[in-house]
């Protein structure tokens, strides 16, 4: 049977392949388009270089070539000097091939629609004067006015579109925490009774976020009515503790940082405050309720360094474009946008939850040990070539306690996530590597001996 050119490209991966990847991922993820912010995160390139990468050739055609005067056009917004004609790196090519075949391995969570998030949250939303919460209280939970709720929840709303990405990031946090409560309650139930089916436990272990929650019915259809009621009560109690103590606690502190009451902010959505904050006024707030400004010493400016992220990763976690980032920075003494501020305040207070957005990549030593369990003949010198770098990089990559190098960050994350799920990630990656090597016109045997990606 002939192989599909879409999933097994015969030519070296280049910038045009990113459009194929975008289409494949959109088909899998649903809920709207895959944005440039997503592609920049996957390729681990600054967002302002993505348009250049989309036009790039394979690095097999560009390494060693100087940039001609005509080719410097469009590179003026780069932060660093460019010595060679940009090309799609081997590590990026491997990831593209891997995700074209296995879009379900993409490290981007499935997105629920706004009505689905509302349905999930409604039982836990603060009521206005004791009344049952209605739609108007939805958007204020994510830093927007109550008027925005009707737009988000309208029948014409398309999936998770129609809202800024910072709102979707906050929804992702809430959904991920509910999914964790569901998984924890299921594990607790399994510790008390042997009746929990093995396939249910395996699914709960391997899925998270909305991918897990959309399977709730099939994961609980074995329960009788009484058991299901008790289980759902356990899930709700677990989630409510987090929602009331942590999430609503952050919203209350954010409201105080904007000189408004929790009732006005959380129930009415009165989050906007554009007044400048002087040093004297800033010092008057408690540490927990201090406004997050655009200035250089604020959590907003220090986020990337504090969490050890690349610029592409930081922008993706925020859900903001480069222009928005610098607009906030230019307004140094003003509060940043409420949804972004809420997310920042939460992550600095509960830093372990950065893993819900951007997991720390596995170390090269852990990856090498895992591969050797499966393939004892795999050599240390082959580690970096498997991840798209040269042979000599293998030893630094595998240094004990060494942080994951830049070239391997995204592939290392995918590798470890899928290995934990029992997926054949090593064999799948090796196949992608060998396909790219052959497409580049290189000798496969020679490649595994010397690890050279370029002639």
Asked if residue 66 belongs to a domain, the reply is yes
| Same domain for 314 and 398 | no
In a 13 Å sphere around the CA of 100, the CA atoms on its Cβ side amount to 22
| Same domain for 124 and 87 | no
| Same domain for 370 and 354 | no
| Same domain for 93 and 130 | no
Q: Give the helix ranges, DSSP H, for 58-102.
A: 59-62, 90-101
| Same domain for 332 and 403 | no
| Same domain for 429 and 338 | no
Q: What are phi and psi of 293, to 5 degrees?
A: -105, 180
pLDDT of residue 4: 84
Asked if residue 4 belongs to a domain, the reply is no
Token reading at 164: 């800024």
d(CA 310, CA 312): 5
Asked if residue 2 belongs to a domain, the reply is no
| Same domain for 279 and 188 | yes
- Nearby residues of 339 by Cβ (< 8 Å), 6 or more positions away: 142, 143, 144, 164, 166, 167, 169, 170
d(CA 111, CA 34): 11
| Same domain for 352 and 368 | no
Domain hosting 193: range is 111-358
| Same domain for 324 and 218 | yes
d(CA 408, CA 449): 20
Indicate the burial class of 82 (C-beta count within 10 angstroms; 0-12, 13-18, 19 or more). Answer: middle
d(CA 365, CA 380): 9
d(CA 309, CA 271): 28
pLDDT of residue 163: 63
Per residue of the chain (455 residues), give pLDDT as tens: 567 888 889 999 999 999 999 999 999 997 678 999 999 999 999 999 999 999 999 999 988 655 444 443 333 333 443 444 579 999 999 999 999 999 999 999 999 999 999 999 999 998 745 567 789 999 999 999 999 999 999 865 554 455 689 999 999 999 999 999 999 999 999 999 999 999 999 999 999 999 999 999 999 999 999 999 999 999 999 999 999 999 999 999 999 999 999 999 998 999 999 999 999 999 999 999 999 999 999 999 999 999 999 999 999 999 999 999 999 999 999 999 999 999 999 999 999 999 999 999 999 999 999 999 999 999 999 999 999 999 999 999 999 888 899 999 999 999 999 999 999 999 999 999 999 999 999 999 999 999 999 98
Which of 337, 358, 379 is the last residue before a domain boundary?
358
Asked if residue 140 belongs to a domain, the reply is yes
pLDDT of residue 278: 97
pLDDT of residue 64: 67
d(CA 60, CA 71): 17
Asked if residue 41 belongs to a domain, the reply is yes
pLDDT of residue 80: 41
Whether the CB-CB separation of 85 and 67 falls below 8 Å is answered with: yes
Which of 62, 81, 105 is the last residue before a domain boundary?
105
Asked if residue 77 belongs to a domain, the reply is yes
CB atoms within 10 A of CB 450: 12
SS3 291: coil
d(CA 47, CA 50): 5
| Same domain for 265 and 151 | yes
pLDDT of residue 63: 81
Asked if residue 286 belongs to a domain, the reply is yes
**HEC per residue, 272-303:** CCCCCCCHHHHHCCCHHHCCCECCCCCHHHHH
| Same domain for 150 and 86 | no
Asked if residue 7 belongs to a domain, the reply is no
Which of 88, 105, 122 is the last residue before a domain boundary?
105
CB atoms within 10 A of CB 168: 21
d(CA 387, CA 193): 43
pLDDT of residue 86: 76
| Same domain for 310 and 183 | yes
- Nearby residues of 434 by Cβ (< 8 Å), 6 or more positions away: 444
How many domains is the chain built from?
Answer: 3
pLDDT of residue 159: 46
- Nearby residues of 313 by Cβ (< 8 Å), 6 or more positions away: 41, 44, 304, 358, 409
**HEC per residue, 365-416:** HHHHHHHHHHCCCCCHHHHHHHCCCCCCHHHHHCCCCCCCCHHHHHHHHHHH
d(CA 387, CA 363): 12
Q: CA torsion sign, 66 to 411 to 181 to 227?
A: positive
């Amino acid at each position: 049977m002939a192989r599909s050119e879409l999933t097994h490209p015969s030519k070296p991966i280049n910038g045009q392949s990113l459009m194929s990847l975008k289409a494949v991922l959109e088909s899998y993820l649903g809920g709207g388009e895959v944005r440039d912010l997503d592609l920049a995160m996957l390729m681990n390139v600054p967002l302002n270089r993505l348009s250049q990468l989309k036009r790039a050739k394979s690095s097999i055609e560009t390494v060693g070539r100087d940039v001609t005067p005509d080719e410097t056009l469009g590179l003026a917004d780069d932060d660093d000097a460019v010595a060679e004609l940009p090309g799609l790196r081997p590590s990026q090519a491997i990831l593209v091939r891997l995700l074209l075949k296995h879009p379900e391995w993409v490290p981007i969570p499935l997105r629920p629609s706004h009505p689905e998030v509302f349905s999930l949250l409604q039982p836990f939303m603060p009521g206005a004067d004791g009344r049952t919460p209605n739609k108007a209280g939805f958007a204020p939970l994510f830093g927007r006015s109550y008027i925005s709720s009707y737009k988000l929840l309208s029948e014409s709303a398309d999936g998770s579109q129609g809202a800024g990405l910072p709102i979707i990031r906050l929804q992702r946090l809430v959904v991920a925490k509910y999914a964790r409560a569901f998984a924890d309650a299921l594990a607790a139930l399994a510790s008390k009774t042997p009746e929990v089916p093995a396939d249910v436990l395996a699914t709960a272990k391997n899925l998270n976020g909305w991918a897990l929650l959309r399977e709730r019915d099939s994961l609980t259809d074995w329960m009788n009515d009484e058991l299901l009621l008790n289980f759902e009560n356990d899930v709700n109690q677990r989630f409510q503790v987090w929602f009331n103590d942590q999430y609503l606690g952050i919203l209350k502190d954010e409201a105080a940082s904007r000189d408004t009451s929790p009732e006005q902010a959380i129930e009415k959505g009165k989050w906007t405050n554009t007044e400048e904050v002087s040093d004297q006024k800033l010092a008057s707030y408690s540490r927990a309720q201090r406004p997050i400004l655009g200035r250089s010493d604020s959590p907003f400016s220090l986020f990337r360094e504090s969490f050890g992220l690349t610029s592409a990763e930081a922008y993706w976690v925020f859900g903001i474009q480069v222009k928005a980032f610098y607009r906030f920075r230019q307004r140094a003494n003003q509060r940043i946008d409420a949804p972004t501020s809420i997310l920042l305040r939460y992550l600095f207070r509960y830093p372990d939850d950065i893993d819900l957005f951007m997991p720390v990549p596995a170390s090269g030593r852990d990856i090498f040990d895992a591969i050797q369990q499966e393939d004892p003949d795999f050599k240390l010198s082959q580690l970096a070539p498997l991840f798209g770098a040269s042979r000599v990089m293998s030893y630094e990559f595998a240094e004990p306690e060494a942080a994951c190098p830049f070239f391997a960050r995204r592939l290392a994350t995918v590798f470890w996530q899928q290995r934990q799920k029992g997926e054949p990630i090593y064999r799948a990656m090796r196949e992608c590597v060998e396909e790219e090597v052959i497409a580049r016109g290189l000798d496969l045997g020679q490649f595994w001996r010397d690890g050279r990606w370029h002639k």
